[in-house]
Structure 1
């Protein structure tokens, strides 16, 4: 299903591995770790524009929240009329109820493809899209402080020993990766909570729940499911990027709103002595 994305994503990873492999050893953990991080950064940089569009659309929808609530209160029993009035409100204000969803849907296949490319470096695999058998083996032999990038925490001691590592080294590397990635997710969700509380209390409640469940889910999946260290690096890089991107794009949209308010013509009241 995602083949149309998997090959370009694996090509970007291959490119960065060639770059960092020329500086360091191609089989070194440093080359592979930097390749994964820069793969994430490259793809997320390409997706900044749709992310900015989603944030702008979300702000427009939030600004309409009071009017939307009035329509729901007035036409709550007449679903057809309510839908018509909501559609008219969005049309009059140049917004769309799906404006914040569509850019996110565009990003989803790319990010899932990034995950699966890293997940497909498996023992015995003859290839992984643009990587040949030698490239797959190079990834599986690479390590970060003794933790193999292709192995995961829940593997048995015998399986880890076969790859030249053990639970001590896997935990020493894997747990900090999960904790930092989880913290980045927590702060990203918390940053968007304040605005949601004032404009959409119901959505804010869900966001507050996810603020705790998402980091917990990362710890559980990384500890008990087959999530290789290389994929944990992906989680870390993409969540740290998300946190930084959210901070930067929020400032961009805030400046745009301030500029629009400053340019909006002021309505002057009647002059003294004149009848309004």
Structure 2
């Protein structure tokens, strides 16, 4: 039903796997497959960079409109229809679109679902899974699974993925994987999965916490935190990281790699984008403030010297004191 998501996601993953296989010469290597997942994330986030910048600018516009919004709420208290009309008018005047604030998240959600499904479909020896255009009700045998394509991946790619291990743990294995599924990976123990999954779960949770903390710090700086936002901030700071750890037991190793790389990208991107916007605002404030021209030359710029009139010697110029 969601093949229109599964095939593009698997195609990007396939591309990066082929690229890193060509570079390393080891297509079955777990690091190669892990890098393929990481660069799948980077590809998606690079595509979403401009929407993210628009999202940030939209949020900043909303923050600046908070005093006017509160005034409208006070003025039209009890008249929701009039309030909604005035809010829509205010948003239109400032080119504010609520959809832009949600666009990156809305796009990432189906990609995450697609990646989760594609990774799970490398090993179809457990519960009922999905084969392109078919939905078998019975688990596959180990031999059938290894000889069945997985969306953009051929049967040989499937076998390569099953053979790939990151520090001894298969990338599509979970801490909670049934014993029957673990048999498809060969000589793999649950302990080897735990030793890789748990550090990734902790790292992903910590990354989620600090990414949220960086975002919340900017809200506090602007003084626009309302009660609803404060509740969401607490959830983002503490509940979501705990949720990552709880969910991690049921997530493949590759999904945990997705979480880690996605949060690392988000953290870096936030600092870059907010820093650039802050620099733009400082530059705009400097240009709009009368008499705010810098008294010293910009580092690296040629100093501007006063022009002398013809016939005036250098010694005739006024000196300090």
TM bracket (short chain): 0.7 to 0.9
Cα deviations across residues 159-195 of structure 1 (Å, max 9, x unaligned)? 5355311122111110111111111111111111133
Q: What is the CA-CA distance between 1:115 and the residue it aligns to?
A: 3.4
Matched, 1:86 2:87: yes
Q: Provide the rounded CA distance (Å) in 2 between the counterparts of 1:257 and 1:118.
A: 44
- From the two aligned structures, give the one with the greater helix fraction: 1
- Structure 1 residue runs without a partner (length 5+): 268-276
Aligned residue for 1:214?
Answer: 240
Residue among 228, 232, 247 paired with 2:271:
247
Aligned residue for 1:143?
Answer: 165
Computing the radius of gyration from Cα coordinates, the structure with the larger value is 2
Deviates more, 1:209-218 or 1:92-101: 92-101
Change in 2 beyond 3 A, CA 1:158/1:106: closer
Q: What is the CA-CA distance between 1:65 and the residue it aligns to?
A: 0.9
Greater RCO, 1 or 2 (C-alpha within 8 Å, sep 6+): 1
TM-score, length-normalised on structure 1?
0.87
Q: What is the CA-CA distance between 1:78 and the residue it aligns to?
A: 0.8
Residue correspondences, number: 265
Change in 2 beyond 3 A, CA 1:161/1:21: same
TM-score, length-normalised on structure 2?
0.76
Aligned residue for 2:44?
Answer: 43
Structure 1 segments (4+ residues) deviating >4 Å: 156-159
Q: What is the CA-CA distance between 1:118 and the residue it aligns to?
A: 2.5
Q: Are the counterparts in 2 of residues 24 and 30 from structure 1 also a CA contact under 8 Å?
A: no
The 5-angstrom pairing of residues 43-82 of structure 1 reads 43-82=44-83
The 5-angstrom pairing of residues 75-224 of structure 1 reads 75-123=76-124, 124=145, 126-156=148-178, 159-160=181-182, 163=185, 164-197=187-220, 198-202=223-227, 203-223=229-249
**Alignment RMSD (CA, Å):** 2.2
Deviates more, 1:122-131 or 1:243-252: 122-131
Q: What is the CA-CA distance between 1:143 and the residue it aligns to?
A: 0.4
Q: Are the counterparts in 2 of residues 193 and 204 from structure 1 also a CA contact under 8 Å?
A: no
Q: Are the counterparts in 1 of residues 123 and 181 from structure 2 also a CA contact under 8 Å?
A: no
Aligned residue for 2:258?
Answer: 234
Change in 2 beyond 3 A, CA 1:167/1:15: same
